Homo-oligomer: A and B are copies of this chain.
Amino acid sequence: MASSDPVYLRVVDDLRRQIVNGSLAPGAVVPSRAQLTRRYGVGETAARHALRVLTTEGLIFGRVGSGHYVRERATLVPLHRSRFHDHHAPLAADLHSQGRRVSWVWRVERVRATPELADRLRLPEYAPIVRTRHIYRSNGKPVQLTWSYEPAELAEGQPVPAEGTDSRKSVVARMAAVGLNVTDIVETVRTRVPEPAEIDALDLCAGVHILHLERTHHAGSRPLETSDTVVPGDAFHLVYTLRP
């Protein structure tokens, strides 16, 4: 019976139960503030609080003027992080293999290494580097943001491709072209709250976390390229294939 102390939690717990057990199906309308106050005999504040909690939990969403609805959990799309290393746009290759179309734009800039980037690329601080920005879209919707960085000296010998949506070779291929062999790739994964700019760029709704991937290509112990990738946590899951 465990009637949790705070009143609003009674409402939250009951609605959450209904959502997870399916009696409130995805797309269904959630009782409105007015209805909740009557049904549960609570005040406006508690009803409102309950709806807000469920919203930040990502279980429901509100449409002003209309009502709250149960979020449909789009089944997470797998990103195969152990594959497509030799592709110029791994995400596109991966999703394409699953029957999805992806478009992207990118641009290249010459900048100087921040302390953190200098550390990641094992360069002196303020060393010149080449920064590439990728924005991937699936059906027009932005799904992945990537910053990629490589030492300017390595980018030097390579053909500078036109910006925009043209093809560009993979890191592995580009490095091979200047005689460097990528021997291993180290990728770290974390989850965090998106920054305002990321919420904007990825068109995220309230409460959605992101997966932040930091990937570095090495030749032996020498870092050749490092990148930061951000994908919405409610749309993707990552797949790694490992050998014991």
Residues in chain A within 8 A of chain B (CB atoms): 13, 56-59, 76, 78, 81-82, 85-86, 172, 182-193, 196, 207, 209-211, 217, 233, 236-244
Contacts and interface: CB of A to CB of B under 8 A. Distances in A.
A101 B163 CA distance: 50
Q: Which 10 pairs show the lowest CB-CB distances between chains A and B? A: A191-B191, A190-B237, A191-B233, A85-B244, A189-B238, A185-B242, A209-B209, A187-B240, A182-B244, A57-B193
5 contacts: A57-B193, A186-B240, A187-B240, A188-B239, A192-B233
A86 B244 contact: yes
Contacts of A237: 188-190
B211 A242 contact: no
How often does this chain occur in the complex, in copies? 2
A77 to B, nearest CB: 11
Nearest to A194: B57
Nearest to A214: B237
B233 A184 contact: no
Nearest to A20: B195
A241 B82 CA distance: 9
Contacts of A13: 196
A160 B24 CA distance: 43
A209 B191 contact: yes
Contacts of A240: 81-82, 186-189, 240, 242
Nearest to A4: B196
A211 B213 CA distance: 13
Highest count of chain B CB atoms <10 Å: which of A59, A207, A239, A242: A242
Nearest to A76: B190
Given A209-B233, A244-B85, A78 B188 contact: yes
